[in-house]
């Protein structure tokens, strides 16, 4: 018998091959690591290191696993929309090396695809290379969410069972866009826009912008109409953990026609969604609505969010007789990365199936998924389970700590 290596003979080769295949299957949790991937890289995202991050930390991992890569460097804003819109539906996943802005473009491109329902079934996998990287943090958690190598492994392992996620239909005038993460007005939106030029600072720009906002402390006047489904904070925490345990899955209903124009009739809904309409018209410091616990490493904005409950979490920071002063805002920074502000009584937090927002002043900032939009009336409806993500878990990765009777934060059980 011919020696192959050391004591290994020809007859051992089939056995060794079978053994290697089993190890590979074990390592990749039953998913085939050799994938066909469309890769989008934004060379100008965040601190501008996306190209190096991909070449040094991500590409070697994907190539070693035998993946076929079709790589495009985006050359302008809007480029990723065009690519996703015209993409062949033959890829196993769409890998996005950037921050959340490019992910926003990708989902909007998929919505314009000739066959959007099929296009939305191609899973999207973020590789963190922007400033906020909220989606990556939500999929991989605080520890791994900013690690490009962990994100590369998620691409190889995560396609076994992609995670369905709700998206939002954002309508303004007769324009419809897809939002996947957040809509923000007031101080938090000012923070985003006023620190655009500080992308080189990475996510520290948000902390700097918040401190600056505390000094200027402007209020914001909006009329908010929310179709509220749940508003009891303790029950929302209980539901979070119950749902994580069961991680229920259902069928994706698809993208409704693009012309769901808003109606002014509060009784008549453009979508058949649950809940009761509630109107809120007090001056506020900010309103942030969206999905996914983290919007950046320093802020767990929606700690009780579920990927696919068909609802949007809405957080309104009220002004209560000037109690919300500068000291309060500075205190609010402590524990913000663990969602401590969720428990503040001045943080009105509800889950709804739709909402409308109408600015009552002429000037202000509206950010959608971190991108600036006209400060005008808009409407949001949830598109249940339309998006598909690669994720190691069937739920968002970050844990939410609860506050006990003594005000100490602890892990929820």
Ligand X SMILES: Nc1ncnc2c1ncn2[C@@H]1O[C@H](COP(=O)(O)OP(=O)(O)OP(=O)(O)O)[C@@H](O)[C@H]1O
3-class SS string, 300-323:
ECCCCCCCCCCCEEEEEEECCCCC
100 touches ligand X by CB under 6 A: yes
Residue 2 in tokens: 């011919």
Q: Active site includes 100?
A: yes
Q: CA–CA separation, 236 vs 218, rounded Å?
A: 30
- Core vs surface per residue 116-145: b (16+ CB within 10 A) or e: beebbbbbbbbbbbbbbbbbbbbbbbbebb
Mark the segment that binds ligand X (CB under 6 A) among 24-32, 40-48, 305-313, 352-360: 40-48
CB of 372 to ligand X, least distance (A): 10
Q: Alpha carbon 203 to chain centroid distance?
A: 15
The interface mask with ligand X, positions 149-178, x = CB under 6 A, is ------------------------------
Q: CA–CA separation, 284 vs 346, rounded Å?
A: 10
Q: Which of 51, 79, 243, 244 binds ligand X (CB under 6 A)?
A: 79
Q: Which residues contact 234 (CB under 8 A, 6 or more apart)?
A: none
132 touches ligand X by CB under 6 A: yes
Please give the residue whose beta carbon sits closest to ligand X in the complex. Answer: 99
User: By C-beta, is 17 or 75 nearer to ligand X?
Assistant: 75
CB of 233 to ligand X, least distance (A): 28
Residue among 264, 257, 293, 283 nearest 400 (CA): 293
* Angstrom distances, CA of residue 50 to CA of 27, 139, 142: 27, 19, 20
Mark the segment that binds ligand X (CB under 6 A) among 26-34, 94-102, 254-262, 269-277: 94-102
Phi, psi of 163 (to 5 degrees): -100, 130
209 touches ligand X by CB under 6 A: no
CB of 120 to ligand X, least distance (A): 19
Q: How many residues bind ligand X (CB under 6 A)?
A: 23
Q: Which of 58, 65, 102, 153 binds ligand X (CB under 6 A)?
A: 102
Q: Which of 15, 77, 143, 247 binds ligand X (CB under 6 A)?
A: 77
Q: Which residues contact 29 (CB under 8 A, 6 or more apart)?
A: 157, 160
282 touches ligand X by CB under 6 A: no
Active-site pick, 100, 144, 192, 308? 100
Q: Which of 35, 87, 105, 312 binds ligand X (CB under 6 A)?
A: 105
DSSP 220: B
318 touches ligand X by CB under 6 A: no
297 touches ligand X by CB under 6 A: no
144 touches ligand X by CB under 6 A: no
Residue among 145, 151, 154 nearest 337 (CA): 145
Q: Which residues contact 80 (CB under 8 A, 6 or more apart)?
A: 40, 42, 74, 96, 102, 105, 106, 109
Q: Which of 37, 62, 74, 390 binds ligand X (CB under 6 A)?
A: 74
CB of 181 to ligand X, least distance (A): 9
Q: What does the binding site for ligand X look like in residue numbers (CB under 6 A)?
A: 42-46, 74-77, 79, 98-102, 105, 130-133, 199, 370-371
> Which residues are tagged catalytic?
100
């Amino acid at each position: 018998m011919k020696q192959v290596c050391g004591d290994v003979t020809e007859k051992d080769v089939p056995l060794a091959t079978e053994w290697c295949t089993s190890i590979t299957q074990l390592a990749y949790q039953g998913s085939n690591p050799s994938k066909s991937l469309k890769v989008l890289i934004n060379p100008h995202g965040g601190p501008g290191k996306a190209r190096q991050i991909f070449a040094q930390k991500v590409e070697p991992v994907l190539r070693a696993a035998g993946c076929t890569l079709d790589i495009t460097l985006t050359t302008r804003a809007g480029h990723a929309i065009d690519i996703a819109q015209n993409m062949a539906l033959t890829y196993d996943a769409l890998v996005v090396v950037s921050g959340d802005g490019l992910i926003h473009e990708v989902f909007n491109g998929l919505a314009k695809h000739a066959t959007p329902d099929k296009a939305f079934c191609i899973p999207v996998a973020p590789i963190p290379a922007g400033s906020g990287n909220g989606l990556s943090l939500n999929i991989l958690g605080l520890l791994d969410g900013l690690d490009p190598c962990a994100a590369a492994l998620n691409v190889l392992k995560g396609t076994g069972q992609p995670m369905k996620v709700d998206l939002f239909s954002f309508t303004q005038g007769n324009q419809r866009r897809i939002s996947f993460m957040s809509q923000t007005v007031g101080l938090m939106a000012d923070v985003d826009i006023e620190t655009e030029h500080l992308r080189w600072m990475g996510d520290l720009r948000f902390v700097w912008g918040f401190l600056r906002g505390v000094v200027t402390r402007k209020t914001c006047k909006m009329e908010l109409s929310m179709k509220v489904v749940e508003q009891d904070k303790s029950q929302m925490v209980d539901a979070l953990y119950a749902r994580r345990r069961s991680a229920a899955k259902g069928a994706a209903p698809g993208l409704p026609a693009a012309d769901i124009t808003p109606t002014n009739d509060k009784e008549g809904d453009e979508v058949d969604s649950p809940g009761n309409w509630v109107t809120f018209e007090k001056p506020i410091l900010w309103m942030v609505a969206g999905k996914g616990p983290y919007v950046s490493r320093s802020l767990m904005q929606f700690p009780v969010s579920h990927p696919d409950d068909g609802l949007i979490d809405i957080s309104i920071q009220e002004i209560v007789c000037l109690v919300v002063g500068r000291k309060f805002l500075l205190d609010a920074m402590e524990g913000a990365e663990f969602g401590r502000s969720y428990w503040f009584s001045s943080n009105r937090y509800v889950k709804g199936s739709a909402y409308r927002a109408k600015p009552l002043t002429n000037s202000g900032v509206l950010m959608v998924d971190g991108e600036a939009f006209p400060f005008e009336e808009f409407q949001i409806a949830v598109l249940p389970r339309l998006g598909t993500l690669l994720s190691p878990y069937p739920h968002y990765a970050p844990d939410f700590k609860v506050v006990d009777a003594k005000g100490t934060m602890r892990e929820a059980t």
